[in-house]
Amino acid sequence: MMEKASRVLQKYFGYTQFRDGQQKVIESLLRGKNTLAIMPTGAGKSLAYQIPALLFEGTTLVISPLISLMKDQVDALQQYGVPATFINSSLSIKETRSRIEKAERGEYKLLYVAPERLESESFRNLLESLNVSFVAIDEAHCVSQWGHDFRPSYLHLGPFLKSFPQQPLIGAFTATATEEVQTDIIRQLGLNGPNVFVTALNRPNLSFTTLRGENKKAFILEYAQLHADQSGIIYVGTRKEVDNLQTFLSKNGLRAGKYHAGMGEEDRQKSQEDFLFDERTVMVATNAFGMGIDKSNVRYVIHYNMPKNMEAYYQEAGRAGRDGEPGECLLLFSPQDVVLQRFLIEQTIFQPERKMNELKKLQGMVDYCHSPRCLRKTILEYFGEENIQEECGNCSNCNDEREMVDITVEAQKIFSCIYRMRERFGIGLVAEVLKGSRKAKILELRFDELTTHGIMRDIPLQEIKDRINYLVAENFLQLSNGEYPVVKLLPNAVLVIRGEAKVSQKVSPQPAREKAEEISLFDRLRALRRELALRGNLPPYMIFADSTLREMAQLCPIDHQSLIRISGVGERKLEKYGSIFLDEIRSFNEENKKGLSTHQGSSEKFVIAPTLLQRNVSAVSMRSEKIRSSAKASKDKVLSHQQTFILYQEGYSLEDIARVRNVTALTVQQHLVRCSLDGQVIPWDDFIPIEQEPLILEAVRQVGREKLRPIKELLSDEVEWFTIQAVLEKYKIQGEEK
C-alpha cells in the first residue's frame, strides 16, 4: 500500500519522499487503524490524511474548524488536481445538496465540513447517502478542555462518530498536545486503542528569540523595515493594539494589514487575501488569525504580547518557515502581558479546575520568557520530549553575545523615586518625575519637591519607561493588578538601594541587517509566479513554494523530465506551468551565458546558475547613500528646510533624513512646520494617529491655541509635541513652539 501512497505523493503533490512522521501515520491509516497524530506546524499533517483519502473507496469527511481554512486547503488541492470541496454556512441549501450529490457520484474524494454543521439533523440526514469510509479531524486539540483552544462544538463529534451504522476509520490530527490533552482527545472521540504518533516537534529551521523590557513599537518598526520584502505576522493581544500598531506601521511606509474578530467579515476576508496574495507583507493580528492560513513563505512571526500558554505560542510561532526555509520567531515580553492574560483567564473561565490549569500554563509561559536555558530545549521538554541536547545553537539564549552593562546607579534612582512616591503610582508618572516634568498633576502632588525630581532629566522619557519595564521583568519591581497598575518595590530592589546588590542589563540586540543579494533567476521566477497568480486569482505560494523556486534557480532544469524532479513539481503543475517556467529559465540563461556551466556530476542535463554575488553593503546603507546623493544634488539650490521636504516627498522617512543630514529628529520636524508656514502643502495626516486627533482638538478647545504646553499637559504621554503641531498646522491653528 505504501508504494501506491508514494505514487500518489509524486503524481499529485510533486514530492519523491515523505517527511519525518508522515509515513508511519499513513501506514497506520492504510492498515485500517484509528490514529491520533501530533505533528508540528510545517510537518505536513494535511498530506497524512489527504493521501489515504485518495486511496480509500468512498468519501473522506474532513472536520475543519474555520471556513477560511477549508477554502484555503480545497483551493490548494484543486491546484494539485485533487477532487475536493467544502460545505459551510457560506453555501445555500441548494448548493449544499448539489455538492453532496456529486460526492455520492464519486466526483469528490474529500469533503470538508465545520463541526457546527454536524449538530444539524437535516445535514446529518444528507450525509447518510454518502459512503463515508474515513473521517479526518483536523485541529483535534479543540475537543479537549485542557487544550489551548477548546471549542464546545467539537464535543458533538463523539456522538456523531458513534451514529454511523458502519464505523468509519478515524484519524485525529493536531500540531501540539501534551500527554494530558492526548488522553482527553482519545476519550472524547471514543477511540479504542488507537495508534498514537508524536512526530518530533523540533523545527530546526526556526530560530527563537525572547526580549524583555524593549520599546516594542520601535523594535518592530526597525525589524519590519529591515525585512520589508518578506512576509511576516505580528500577533498582538487586543483588538485596539492591533488597530494602533497597524496604523503606526502603515504611516511609516510598510504594507501592513490587520485582522481581528471586531472587523466585519468582508474586511477580514479582504485583509487575509491581501496577505495571501503578497499585497500586504505584514499582518498585524490577534490570535483569531492564522489557523486558516496555509501560507508557506512566512519568514518571521513576532509576538508583541506574550501568549497565554506554550501550546498557543508554539503553534502560532510555527507559522513561520513552513516551506522549510529559515524563519524567525521573536517574543517581546513585558510584565503588563501577564496582567492582561491573567485578567482574561479570570473573566472567561469559570470552572475552578480549568481556571487553575490555565493559570499554571500561564506561569509556564512566564518562566519561558525568563529562562536562561536553551529556548528550544525548554519548548520541547514542555511537550514531553526527552534526550534533547543542551544547546541548539539557534536561539537567543544559545547565541547571546550581548554586552553586559552595569545599570545599578540608574536602578537606584528609579527605586528611590518609587519609594518617595510611596509606591502609589504607575510607570508613566514615575518616569515623568524622574525626567523632571512640571505637568499639573506633578505640581499638585508636590512631586516637584522630591529629591528625585529631574534626577534623570538627560535621558529620554521613553528610555526611562523602558528601563522601569526591564526592572519589572527582572523581578526588582512589581505591577499591581487592575486597570491602572501601580509599580511597587520587591525585596531585591531594597538590596540594591542599600548598595548590597548590583543590577546589570544586556545591551539589546539590533535586528540583523540582511545583506543585499543578487539572486537574479530566483527574483525572475518569483515575478513570473506573481504574474501567473494575479492572472489565475491565486495566492502565489499555491503555484510553487519559495523553496521550489529556489531549487529551480539553483539547478536550472532545461526540459520537462528534469523539471519534474524538482521538489514540489507534480504532474498537474508540470502540465499547467512547466513550459512557462522553463521558457523563463531558458531566457535567463540566454541573457547570462557568461559564467554558466553545465553540471558535470549528473547524467541529467542541468545547468548551474551563476554564483550569487554578495554585497557587503546593507539595504539601509544603500538607501542612505541614495538620500545623500539627493541631498547633495539639491544643496546649493534650495534652503535647508526645503531640502528636507524634497527628500520626504521622494519617500524617505524622517529618521533616514535626520541620519543622513546629521540633524536631530526635532530639527527635521520643525523643517516641515516651516515649509507649511511658507505655504507648501504638507501631508499632515501622515504624522497624526487617527485616535489622537480628536483628543488634541478637544484640548485646544479647552485651553486655547496660544501655547503648546497647556495643550500637552491635558493629553496622555503617548501624544508627542510634533503630533500637536501637526494638528495645529493641519487646521491652520497657530501656536507657539514649546
- Specify if 397 maps to a domain: no
Task: Encode pLDDT of 368-386 as tens digits.
Answer: 887 778 999 989 988 888 8
* 583 and 491 part of one domain: no
pLDDT at residue 291, as a whole number: 52
**At CA 717, angle to CA 336 and CA 715, rounded to 5?**
125
Q: What pLDDT does 607 receive?
A: 33
Taking 80 as the threshold, does the pLDDT of residue 400 lie above it? Answer: no
Highest mean pLDDT among 149-153, 218-222, 408-412: 408-412
pLDDT of residue 621: 41
Domain shared by 539 and 489, yes or no: no
> CB-hemisphere CA count at 13 Å for 606?
19
Q: Rounded to whole angstroms, how far apart are CA atoms 185 and 223?
A: 39
Q: What residue numbers bound the domain in which 367 lies?
A: 206-382
Residues 430 and 487: beta-carbon distance below 8 Å: yes
Residue 73 inside a domain? The answer is yes
Nearest Cα to Cα of residue 514 among 614, 399, 651, 654? 614
| Top mean-pLDDT range of 129-138, 241-250, 579-588 | 241-250
| Distance, CA of 271 to CA of 68 (rounded, Å) | 12
| Angle at the Cα of 625 from the Cα atoms of 620 and 626, rounded to 5 degrees | 100
Q: Is residue 735 part of a domain?
A: no
Q: Which of 122-126, 155-159, 653-657 shows the highest mean pLDDT?
A: 155-159
> In this structure, what CATH number is given to the domain that contains residue 436?
1.10.10.10
- 59-65: average pLDDT: 89
Write the single-letter amino acid at 41: T
Nearest to 75 by CA among 88, 86, 87: 86
The pLDDT value recorded for residue 638 is 57
Confirm whether 395 is domain-assigned. Answer: no
Q: Does the pLDDT value for residue 690 go beyond 60?
A: yes
Q: Tell me what the mean pLDDT of segment 274-299 comes to.
A: 82
pLDDT band of residue 89 (cuts 50, 70, 90) is confident
HEC string for 37-105: EECCCCCCHHHHHHHHHHHCCCEEEEECCCHHHHHHHHHHHHHCCCCEEEECCCCCHHHHHHHHHHHHC
Domain end point (choices 455, 486, 506): 506
Indicate whether 512 pLDDT > 60. Answer: no
Q: Which amino acid is residue 25, in one-letter code?
A: V
Q: Which of 371, 390, 381, 380 minimizes the C-alpha distance to 210?
A: 371
What pLDDT score does 507 carry? 63
Closest CA to 152 of 382, 351, 363: 351
Task: Give the CA dihedral 225, 230, 235, 241, nearest 10 degrees.
Answer: 40
Q: Is residue 327 part of a domain?
A: yes
Phi, psi angle pair for 51, to nearest 5°? -70, -50
CA atoms within 13 A on the CB side of 363: 6
pLDDT, tens digit, for every residue of 536-578? 888 888 888 887 887 888 778 888 888 887 878 888 888 889 8
Number of domain units in the chain: 5
> What's the confidence (pLDDT) of residue 34?
94
Number of residues that make up the chain:
738
CATH code: domain of residue 364: 3.40.50.300
- pLDDT score for 423: 94
DSSP string covering 518-559 = E-HHHHHHHHHHHHHHHHHT--GGGT--HHHHHHHHHH-B-S
| Distance, CA of 660 to CA of 671 (rounded, Å) | 15
Q: Are residues 530 and 658 in the same domain?
A: no
If asked whether residues 537 and 621 sit together in one domain, one would say no
pLDDT in tens, 322-337: 888 899 999 998 877 8
- Do 156 and 17 have their domain in common? yes
Final residue in a domain of this structure, among 591, 611, 631: 611
Q: Are residues 237 and 285 in the same domain?
A: yes
DSSP labels for 340-386? HHHHHHHHH---HHHHHHHHHHHHHHHHHHH--S-HHHHHHHHTT--
Contact between 233 and 290 under an 8 Å Cβ cutoff? The reply is yes
- Same domain for 365 and 276? yes
**Most confidently modeled of 366-375, 404-413, 684-693, 709-718?**
404-413
φ, ψ of residue 237 in degrees (nearest 5): -70, -35
Does position 421 have pLDDT exceeding 70, yes or no?
A: yes
Question: Which of 97-111, 250-264, 675-689 has the least mean pLDDT?
Answer: 675-689
Q: Which ranges of 371-508 does DSSP label H, i.e. alpha helix?
A: 375-382, 408-420, 427-435, 440-444, 461-473, 491-497
pLDDT of 116 reads: 85
What is residue 164's DSSP assignment? -
pLDDT in tens, 471-492: 887 779 988 765 577 899 999 9
Q: Which domain-ending residue is among 350, 382, 414?
A: 382
The overall average pLDDT reported for the chain is: 81
Do 26 and 173 sit in the same domain of this protein?
yes
Shared-domain flag, residues 564 and 669: no
Q: Write down the pLDDT at residue 735.
A: 44
Within-domain flag for 330: yes
Distances (CA, A) of 363 to 28, 253, 345, 486, 528: 37, 37, 12, 21, 48
Answer yes or no: is pLDDT of 630 > 70.
no
* Residue 415: predicted pLDDT: 95
Question: Is 392 among the domain residues?
Answer: no
Residues 708 and 648 in one domain: yes
How far, rounded to the nearest angstrom, does the alpha carbon of residue 34 sit from its chain's CA centroid?
A: 34
Per-residue pLDDT tens over the stretch 581-594: 998 888 887 776 54
pTM as predicted = 0.55
What pLDDT is stored for residue 467 in this prediction? Answer: 86
Tens of pLDDT, residues 2-36: 888 888 888 888 877 887 788 899 999 999 999 99
Is 356 in the same domain as 279? yes
Classify residue 489: in a domain, yes or no. yes
Shared-domain flag, residues 631 and 571: no
> What sections of 294-351 are H helices per DSSP?
310-317, 335-348
